[in-house]
Chains A and B, each alone.
Chain A
Amino acid sequence: MLAWTIYISFAGAALLMLTPRASARTARVIALSTAIASFAVTVAAWCRFTPGEILQVARVPWIPSLGIGYHLAADGISLTLLLLTGIVAIAGVLFSWNVEKRPTEFFALYLVLIGAVYGVFLSFDLFLFFVFYELVIIPKYFLIAIWGSTRKEYAAMKLALYSFVGSAMVLIGVIAAYVEAGAKTTDLAALARYPFPLHFEMWVFPLVFLGFAILAGMWPFHTWAPTGHAAAPTAASMLLAGVVMKLGAYGCLRVAMMLFPAGMDAWGFHVLGLGSWRGLFAVLALIGIVYGASVALVQKDFKFVIGYSSVSHMGFVLLGLMTLNLIGLGGAVLQMFSHGIIAGLLFAVVGRMVYDRTHTRMLNELGPMRLARVIPFAAVTFVLASMASIGLPGFSGFVAEFEILIGAWRAFPTLAVLAGVGILIGIAFTWRALDKVFLGEAAVGSQEAVKLPPITWAERAGTSILIATTLAVGLYPRLLLDLILPAFNSPLFEGLRRGLWR
């Protein structure tokens, strides 16, 4: 049944493409109903899901002569991310309610993107996974290049090329693994069981992990993220930061770590104090946390602040993955979900509520407008989103980052301390943005507040969905942790578990 998330999204996109002359209103209604329908399917599957099992969705031979199958399935991790996709997709449509330029094409590409993302999270066949993974690139490019702002063509091309280079690295690994395992199957479960030689895993693991980590915004390959997020239209930024970056992190976990766990073993020698790929990637993730936060601290453009904060928060995901203990891994997946929601909320405030009204994102120009008085709803939303983002207890960010820090403390104590410093800088840049944008002093001489269009119902609805989600997960994290943690006990992660005590 879950497969319908993909089909419904693509059908919605096809419907929009076939009715190019439909009004903007019709287009958004179609898009919204499509997004809601796929989310409903996901929720229905979630209700019937038994944690720890793998829910088989579809399994038919696709290219039998090469052993490639159309195999869709979901475990707790996929299901968590499917829920995230559904929520962000609905909110994204609500926050693009004001798109008037070529609306049918906009929503068609948007739905293709969503459908492909669902496909990635559901694929249990390596080839199929890669097909959906690459399918994401093209709609992303056009969404930014056509509907974006600031240097949109440059940012779109940069993002497309970074993604494609990343997936090229992954493709080398995929083909190598397929051939190494005898060129008989691309099924993930079968490949996870296959004992790849150690030297093979040692070169394929970093290649594939890096390929995916580019899309997850790992330092120093993160530079596409801030420019891409800043140039993208609101809904696309929400999807990019909220969901697409998670594709990278999910790929790291589902493909790189699950298939080639031995690649994380010690090299047997030390370079600059690092003894394994795992150590190297943990350090890069930490640099991402601290660097992203520090750079966000000095940005002049509101959207770049949020863009760099995404780099910082995705660093936590990668650090969590590299801890290789259950609490860290669980925290990483929870952080994927939590950051998806919070980043969506932040970009909605910046892109839709502020930029679409004021047509500027410069912190020093926004301050004098006294936005807290003109659009108090935006100010309140941003305060709540900031609280979630810096990890205040009660919001989902707290649970996730706390778990990652505990996991990191067990694996790499020094890095955990430094990641704590990253959180402190995170508080600083969030506070700075909040202060400059919403609590700024009125310009001298102009006592009159600027006139801006009021907040629409669609914005209120989108905001409520996202805030309710982050609060729900923050107050009752077992909602998702009960899904995520048992998934690591499945036979798929056998190789990873064997390495845990090393």
Chain B
Amino acid sequence: MAVNTHVINAVDLLRLTLPEIVVGLAALLTLTLDLVVLKGRAAAVRWKAGALVACAGCAGAILLLVLRPETATLYDGMLVVAPLTQMVEAVLAGFTILAVLLSVDSDFTQHIGEYLALMLFATAGMMVLVSTRNLLVIFASLELLSLSLYILTAFNKRSRLSAEGALKYFLFGGMAAAFFLFGISLLYGLSGSIQMSGVASALETQSLTPLWMVAIVMVVTGLGFKVAAAPFHLWAPDAYQGAPTPSAAMIASSSKIASFFVFATVMVMGLTAGARTWHGPEAAWVPLLAVIAALSMLVGNLAAIAQSSTRRLLAYSAVGHAGYMLLGILANSELGLRALLYYVITYGLATVGAFGVLAALEKEGMDEIDGLAGLSRRAPWLSFCLLIFLLSLAGIPPLSGFFGKFFVFSSALHAGTGLLWLVALAIAMSAVSLYYYLRVLKQVYVRDPGAGAGAIETSLLMRATVGVVALLVVVLGCYPDLLLNWIDAALRAMPH
């Protein structure tokens, strides 16, 4: 049923936000269950029970989102429910399930209920984040997401690295939030509206004054931090390295998906329209984003070469990937948005998978790349999955990472030959990236395990989770249409 109204109707509101409410309730339930019912039980039981509730909550939200397509815009876009946002929300909830499953075997904390509840709060934040066109609500939900993630990063209280990473993440994040808020306030002052549509129509009628440019730069800074684009990436290596593995997986995958979605929405829907006045037909922020994308590709890929820790390597490669994904935003078209969504979702899968493998190896204390020597003999299944994830990240066909790159790059070129240099740089840098991914795989497959290193025991749940993700990476690469058709259908149903 299509709803488009200013009248506050509590029942409609409840119905439209039911998925978010379910996730929030699941969070509270997890917390209660762990602190009241299961108090004093063994950690393994508490993890399993908590994870079960959390997964049930997310699964419930997914079912609601998939089975009940809605189209509604409430309060001028403060809440937008459309097939597209529902699809992204469902994907985000799905990623949370994966992160929760990866955490079941871990032993870094005794505060199990709090940990899982925070994951669900972060998820709720992301779900609100993607379903709003109101800049202030974007800010508020971004903060809900970020604050949860800061705590999730710091959760391993026994590790100094975890504290250090969380502190860096928090300090940089706070600064970025300030920039973002300042940018929003400028946009509000210039346009008199806090809605994206209001900002867009104001931009159409006004000329592009320097103050507009300042506002745009501020907003890009704030969002650039969330997606870890250079030069706002400095928190990423430490947070990835220090955070407990499931938290890192979440930061690297679902938080990235939500942030990129909102980044694209703000740039394409909010700031495109009238900004086409300065130098030509393209949006005024194109040169700015192009420079950030180029920097991200260079910094991320070149710094990754020098890393000796697997997680830091993944962090820098994430910076590089952010550079490629920005090309999807730079395309500034529906095609670009399609490509970006496909890319970021499949990228999230490969990253979650890679972190899943690392989580399984965590008990062996393997963080250094050299520590992976001979892994293929010690844990053949995990090694094979890692091979798939890393090759997908490197963009080797027929894995989904390759098709994502092909799609994003062709959408950028489709927008005009002005981006050819950036596409060429991106392709050159992905050739560089093969080098460091192969460095990891060389340890896994080529080197022999050290003396006395026996087979690694991992739980069936872990192997199954990682295996399912690997299967998805392969299947979505061979049949990209499975995901593309879903995205297309959602985009076509989008209200303009």
Among B397, B424, B428, B480, point to the contact of A130 (Cβ < 8 A): B397
- Take A63-B480, A145-B446, A165-B431 as given contacts and tell me if A172 and B406 are in contact as well, using a CB distance cutoff of 8 Å: no
Question: A326–B479 Cα gap in the complex (Å)?
Answer: 40
Tell me, yes or no, whether B484 is within 8 Å of chain A by CB: yes
- Take A161-B435, A168-B427, A175-B423 as given contacts and tell me if A65 and B397 are in contact as well, using a CB distance cutoff of 8 Å: no
Tell me, yes or no, whether B231 is within 8 Å of chain A by CB: no
How many whole Å from B343's CB to the nearest CB in chain A?
A: 14
A65→B380 contact, CB < 8 A: no
B410→A178 contact, CB < 8 A: yes
CB neighbours (8 Å) of B403 from chain A are 63
Tell me, yes or no, whether A29 is within 8 Å of chain B by CB: no
A157→B438 contact, CB < 8 A: yes
Among A131, A178, A183, point to the contact of B398 (Cβ < 8 A): A131
Question: A69–B488 Cα gap in the complex (Å)?
Answer: 19
A168→B428 contact, CB < 8 A: yes
A65→B484 contact, CB < 8 A: yes
The total number of A-B Cβ pairs within 8 Å is 72
A172→B398 contact, CB < 8 A: no
Indicate with 1 or 0, residue by residue over B395-434, a CB within 8 angstroms of chain A CB atoms: 0111000110011011001100000100110011011001
Tell me, yes or no, whether A190 is within 8 Å of chain B by CB: no
Among B410, B420, B430, point to the contact of A168 (Cβ < 8 A): B430
- Take A134-B396, A142-B446 as given contacts and tell me if A172 and B427 are in contact as well, using a CB distance cutoff of 8 Å: yes
How many whole Å from A118's CB to the nearest CB in chain B?
A: 15
Tell me, yes or no, whether B442 is within 8 Å of chain A by CB: yes
How many whole Å from B393's CB to the nearest CB in chain A?
A: 13
Name the interface residues of B442-496: CB closer than 8 Å to any CB of A. Answer: 442, 445-446, 480-481, 484-485, 488
A160→B396 contact, CB < 8 A: no
CB neighbours (8 Å) of B220 from chain A are none
Among A138, A153, A172, point to the contact of B396 (Cβ < 8 A): A138
Name the interface residues of A155-172: CB closer than 8 Å to any CB of B. Answer: 157, 160-161, 164-165, 168, 171-172
Tell me, yes or no, whether A137 is within 8 Å of chain B by CB: yes
Tell me, yes or no, whether A141 is within 8 Å of chain B by CB: yes
Tell me, yes or no, whether B177 is within 8 Å of chain A by CB: no
Question: A134–B391 Cα gap in the complex (Å)?
Answer: 11
- Take A134-B402, A146-B445, A172-B423 as given contacts and tell me if A179 and B431 are in contact as well, using a CB distance cutoff of 8 Å: no
CB neighbours (8 Å) of B435 from chain A are 157, 161
A175→B397 contact, CB < 8 A: no
CB neighbours (8 Å) of A141 from chain B are 438
A135→B427 contact, CB < 8 A: no
CB neighbours (8 Å) of A153 from chain B are 442, 446
A176→B413 contact, CB < 8 A: yes
Tell me, yes or no, whether A20 is within 8 Å of chain B by CB: yes
CB neighbours (8 Å) of A65 from chain B are 481, 484-485, 488
B427→A171 contact, CB < 8 A: yes
How many whole Å from A160's CB to the nearest CB in chain B?
A: 6
B445→A164 contact, CB < 8 A: no
Question: A172–B426 Cα gap in the complex (Å)?
Answer: 10
Most B Cβ at <10 Å: residue of A130, A137, A146, A175: A175
A133 nearest in chain B by CB position? B397
B481→A135 contact, CB < 8 A: no
A145→B442 contact, CB < 8 A: yes
A179→B414 contact, CB < 8 A: yes
Among B430, B431, B481, point to the contact of A63 (Cβ < 8 A): B481
Question: A63–B483 Cα gap in the complex (Å)?
Answer: 11
B410→A179 contact, CB < 8 A: yes
Interface residues in A, total, Cβ within 8 A:
31
Tell me, yes or no, whether A66 is within 8 Å of chain B by CB: yes
How many whole Å from A184's CB to the nearest CB in chain B?
A: 11
A131 nearest in chain B by CB position? B397
How many whole Å from B331's CB to the nearest CB in chain A?
A: 11
Indicate with 1 or 0, residue by residue over A289-313, a CB within 8 angstroms of chain B CB atoms: 0000000000000000000000000
CB neighbours (8 Å) of A127 from chain B are 406
How many whole Å from A67's CB to the nearest CB in chain B?
A: 11
Question: A157–B436 Cα gap in the complex (Å)?
Answer: 10
How many whole Å from A351's CB to the nearest CB in chain B?
A: 19
Interface residues in B, total, Cβ within 8 A:
31
Tell me, yes or no, whether A268 is within 8 Å of chain B by CB: no
A157 nearest in chain B by CB position? B438
How many whole Å from A228's CB to the nearest CB in chain B?
A: 14
How many whole Å from A304's CB to the nearest CB in chain B?
A: 23
Question: A130–B238 Cα gap in the complex (Å)?
Answer: 37
Question: A235–B428 Cα gap in the complex (Å)?
Answer: 31
A146→B427 contact, CB < 8 A: no
CB neighbours (8 Å) of A453 from chain B are none
Tell me, yes or no, whether A64 is within 8 Å of chain B by CB: yes
Among A63, A146, A179, point to the contact of B413 (Cβ < 8 A): A179
Question: A131–B478 Cα gap in the complex (Å)?
Answer: 10
B431→A183 contact, CB < 8 A: no
Question: A335–B71 Cα gap in the complex (Å)?
Answer: 64
Indicate with 1 or 0, residue by residue over B138-157, a CB within 8 angstroms of chain A CB atoms: 00000000000000000000
CB neighbours (8 Å) of A64 from chain B are 481
CB neighbours (8 Å) of B380 from chain A are 20
How many whole Å from B323's CB to the nearest CB in chain A?
A: 15
B438→A160 contact, CB < 8 A: yes
A160→B434 contact, CB < 8 A: yes
B485 nearest in chain A by CB position? A65
Question: A38–B424 Cα gap in the complex (Å)?
Answer: 38
Name the interface residues of B209-264: CB closer than 8 Å to any CB of A. Answer: none
Among A137, A160, A168, A175, point to the contact of B406 (Cβ < 8 A): A175
B415 nearest in chain A by CB position? A179
A134→B397 contact, CB < 8 A: yes
A203 nearest in chain B by CB position? B420
CB neighbours (8 Å) of A183 from chain B are 410, 414
CB neighbours (8 Å) of B414 from chain A are 179, 183
CB neighbours (8 Å) of B442 from chain A are 145, 153, 157
A162 nearest in chain B by CB position? B431
CB neighbours (8 Å) of B485 from chain A are 65
CB neighbours (8 Å) of A178 from chain B are 410
Name the interface residues of A117-150: CB closer than 8 Å to any CB of B. Answer: 127, 130-132, 134-135, 137-138, 141-142, 145-146
CB neighbours (8 Å) of B480 from chain A are 63
CB neighbours (8 Å) of B391 from chain A are 138
A146→B397 contact, CB < 8 A: no
CB neighbours (8 Å) of B407 from chain A are 66
B413 nearest in chain A by CB position? A179
Among B431, B438, B446, point to the contact of A146 (Cβ < 8 A): B446
Question: A64–B409 Cα gap in the complex (Å)?
Answer: 18
CB neighbours (8 Å) of A161 from chain B are 431, 434-435
Most A Cβ at <10 Å: residue of B391, B398, B438, B484: B438
A142→B445 contact, CB < 8 A: yes
Name the interface residues of B348-398: CB closer than 8 Å to any CB of A. Answer: 380, 391, 396-398
Question: A175–B427 Cα gap in the complex (Å)?
Answer: 11
A135→B434 contact, CB < 8 A: no
Indicate with 1 or 0, residue by residue over A170-207, a CB within 8 angstroms of chain B CB atoms: 01100110110001000000000000000000000000
Question: A131–B420 Cα gap in the complex (Å)?
Answer: 22
How many whole Å from A233's CB to the nearest CB in chain B?
A: 13
- Some 30 contacts from A to B, beta carbons below 8 A apart, are A63-B480, A63-B484, A65-B485, A65-B488, A131-B397, A131-B402, A134-B397, A138-B396, A141-B438, A142-B446, A145-B442, A145-B445, A145-B446, A153-B446, A157-B438, A157-B442, A160-B434, A164-B434, A165-B431, A168-B430, A168-B431, A172-B423, A175-B410, A175-B413, A175-B423, A176-B420, A179-B410, A179-B413, A183-B410, A183-B414
Q: Which residues of A contact B (CB under 8 A)?
A: 20, 63-66, 127, 130-132, 134-135, 137-138, 141-142, 145-146, 153, 157, 160-161, 164-165, 168, 171-172, 175-176, 178-179, 183
Q: Which 5 A-B pairs have the closest CB atoms?
A: A131-B397, A168-B431, A179-B413, A145-B446, A168-B427
Using A160-B438, A161-B434, A168-B428 as known contacts, list a sample of 13 further A-B pairs with CB atoms less than 8 Å apart, ordered by residue number in A.
A63-B484, A135-B398, A146-B446, A157-B435, A160-B434, A164-B431, A165-B428, A165-B431, A168-B430, A168-B431, A171-B406, A172-B427, A183-B414
